[in-house]
């Protein structure tokens, strides 16, 4: 087995994962730590910035300890993070306030007036909120740092973000550098923003403090990573037009590759890809995994008790019952936008059981993915032959089959379910010169475990159910757009 390895930090919304990956895309060890309960004084969508670093250091120590090869075999370190989470810091790099996470939609009166030029740059709204509501504090801020820059600074002293995270700030989409015009219009000092460095570039080496905290070897190269979804797309080989992936975790992200920037895609986002100079078209179904978790926590106490007693996963027990329900859940449709308080159970009748509701939640994710696939195919004038999937939802055979049936496409399952870490490792492999380019790296590091074909009779059922889902969506679209603006 190859002993050239990469240490990956995968920093998410609810916890941090550290993973050791070799140059052939094999996971050698990993560790995960969920964020602890937040102090009561924090707002709902805030997090203590030190929590991200503490869990990163803790999990990396455990991942290295669990790997049979030592830290001396690690040739590169890469950070992948959830995007649009912003922390104000002082000149010593210390947080001046809690991190405002991506879920936070705070904005100012002025940012609403400038909505047409700010567009989807949500970090601009966050900064302008401080400018309007805490003007004295605003003047004290040395830098506004995204999560990748915060961790990179802890590792090697580099206050730098990738275009994937910087994209939410006052960035020029043409140059992928900060826009002086936009900074002037919004009143954001350009000197208060971090450097922007392309993914896959060397940004420094592990310093002594980081080595002590993480047990990484001092002097190990640190390569610029990317956003979690950009890394996921790269890790599943979404590097050319005609390939699409869906990641189901806290929410669901449907992404395809673009060679050029796409101006104002309807209800989707055009974001910088992990590969410099390329782009991704991204559709988001918020809260799909959270909806399923809500259902488990609120209505499945017996299943959770049985899971604890038998040392199994409660979701497996839930899905065992859900798999006995016919495709289409006998007419029951879940509208999954609970993140905006717009969740709906439609056509609920006395014949429906808990198992019907569970299956309807899984099917709602399939309808949402199908919606974005159709939009992308129409917008780009192409057809996707298959759907590559990863994330927690990919672990469920039932969920995989539902996605294949709803989309009426072959579903491709990667060997490593968490493709974010594979994509980050690919950035490290190209950045350190192990592979000469991204195509070569993908060919060597992305591996397929399963192909699942749609079941024709289920496809027909879901076509009819999807039409009803679309009617609900059209009726609620105004409320959704208002909630996300």
Model-level pTM?
0.93
| Token pair 């927690």: residue | 392
% of the chain residues with pLDDT over 70: 98
- pLDDT, one tens digit per residue, over 26-46 is 999 999 999 987 777 777 688
> 5-228 adopts what CATH topology?
Nucleotidyltransferase; domain 5 (3.30.420)
Q: Does 294 have pLDDT greater than 90? A: yes
The CATH number that domain 229-288+365-484 falls under is 3.30.420.40
Mean pLDDT check: name the lowest of 106-120, 279-293, 364-378, 454-468.
106-120
Q: What confidence score (pLDDT) does residue 121 get?
A: 86
Buried b (16+ CB within 10 A) or exposed e, 335-369: bbbbbeeebeeeeeeeebbbbbbbbbbbbbbbbbb
Residue 1 confidence class, pLDDT cut points 50, 70, 90: very low
List, for residues 56-67, the tens digit of each pLDDT value: 999 999 999 999
Domain with CATH 3.30.420.40 in the chain: 5-228, 229-288+365-484
pLDDT the model gives residue 118? 84
* Residues 84-125 pLDDT 10s: 999 999 999 999 999 998 888 788 888 888 888 888 788 999
Mean pLDDT, the chain, rounded, equals 94
State residue 476's pLDDT score.
86
Say how far apart CA 419 and CA 424 lie, in whole Å. 9
Model confidence pLDDT, tens digit, residues 165-190: 999 999 998 999 999 999 999 999 99
Contacts of 78 (CB under 8 A, 6+ apart): 6, 7, 8, 9, 222, 223, 224, 225, 424, 425, 427, 428, 431
Q: Which residues contact 41 (CB under 8 A, 6 or more apart)?
A: none
Across 277-299, average pLDDT: 93
Tell me how far apart the alpha carbons of residues 402 and 455 are, in angstroms, rounded to a whole number: 9
- The string of pLDDT tens digits covering residues 335-358 is 998 888 889 999 999 999 999 999
Look at residues 207, 155, 237 and name the one whose alpha carbon lies nearest to residue 412. Answer: 237
């Amino acid at each position: 087995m190859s002993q050239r390895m990469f240490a990956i930090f995968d920093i998410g919304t609810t916890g941090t994962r550290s993973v050791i990956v070799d140059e052939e895309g094999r996971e050698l060890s990993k560790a995960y730590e969920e964020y602890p309960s937040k102090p009561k004084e924090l707002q709902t969508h805030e997090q203590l910035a030190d929590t991200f670093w503490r869990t990163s250091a803790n999990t990396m120590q455990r991942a290295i300890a669990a790997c049979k090869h030592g830290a001396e075999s690690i040739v590169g370190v890469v950070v992948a993070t959830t995007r649009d989470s912003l922390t104000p810091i002082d000149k010593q790099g210390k947080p001046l306030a809690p991190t405002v996470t991506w879920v936070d939609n705070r904005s100012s009166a002025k940012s609403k007036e400038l909505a047409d030029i700010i567009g989807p740059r949500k970090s601009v709204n966050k900064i302008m909120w401080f400018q309007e509501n805490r003007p004295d504090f605003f003047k004290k801020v040395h830098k506004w740092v995204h999560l990748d820059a915060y961790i990179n600074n802890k590792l090697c002293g580099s206050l730098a973000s990738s275009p994937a995270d910087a994209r939410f700030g006052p960035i020029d989409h043409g140059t992928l550098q900060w826009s002086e015009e936009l900074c002037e219009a919004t009143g954001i000092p350009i000197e208060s923003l971090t450097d922007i460095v392309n993914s896959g570039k060397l940004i420094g080496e592990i310093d002594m403090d980081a080595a002590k905290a993480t047990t990484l070897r001092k002097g190990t190269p640190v390569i610029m990573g990317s956003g979690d979804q950009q890394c996921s797309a790269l890790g599943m080989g979404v590097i050319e037009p005609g390939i699409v992936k869906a990641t189901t975790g806290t929410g669901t992200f449907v992404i395809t590759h673009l060679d050029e920037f796409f101006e104002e895609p309807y209800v989707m986002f055009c974001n910088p890809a992990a590969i410099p100079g390329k782009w991704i078209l991204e559709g988001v179904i918020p809260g799909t995994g959270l909806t399923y978790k809500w259902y488990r926590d609120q209505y499945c106490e017996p299943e959770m008790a049985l899971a604890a007693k038998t040392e199994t996963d409660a979701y497996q027990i839930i899905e065992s019952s859900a798999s006995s329900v016919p495709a289409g859940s006998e007419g029951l449709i879940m509208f999954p936008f609970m993140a905006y308080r717009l969740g709906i159970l439609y056509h609920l009748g006395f014949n429906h059981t808990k198992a019907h509701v569970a299956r309807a939640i899984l099917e709602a994710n399939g309808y949402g993915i199908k919606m974005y696939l159709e939009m992308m195919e129409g917008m780009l004038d192409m057809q996707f032959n298959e759907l590559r999937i990863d994330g927690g939802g990919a672990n469920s055979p039932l969920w995989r089959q539902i996605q294949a049936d709803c989309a009426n496409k072959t579903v491709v399952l990667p060997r490593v379910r968490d493709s974010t870490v594979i994509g980050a490792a690919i950035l490290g492999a190209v950045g350190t010169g192990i592979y000469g380019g991204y195509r070569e790296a993908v060919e060597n590091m992305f591996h397929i475990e399963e192909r699942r074909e749609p079941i024709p009779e289920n496809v027909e059922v879901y076509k009819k159910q999807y039409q009803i889902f679309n009617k609900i969506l059209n009726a609620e679209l105004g409320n959704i757009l208002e909630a996300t603006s």
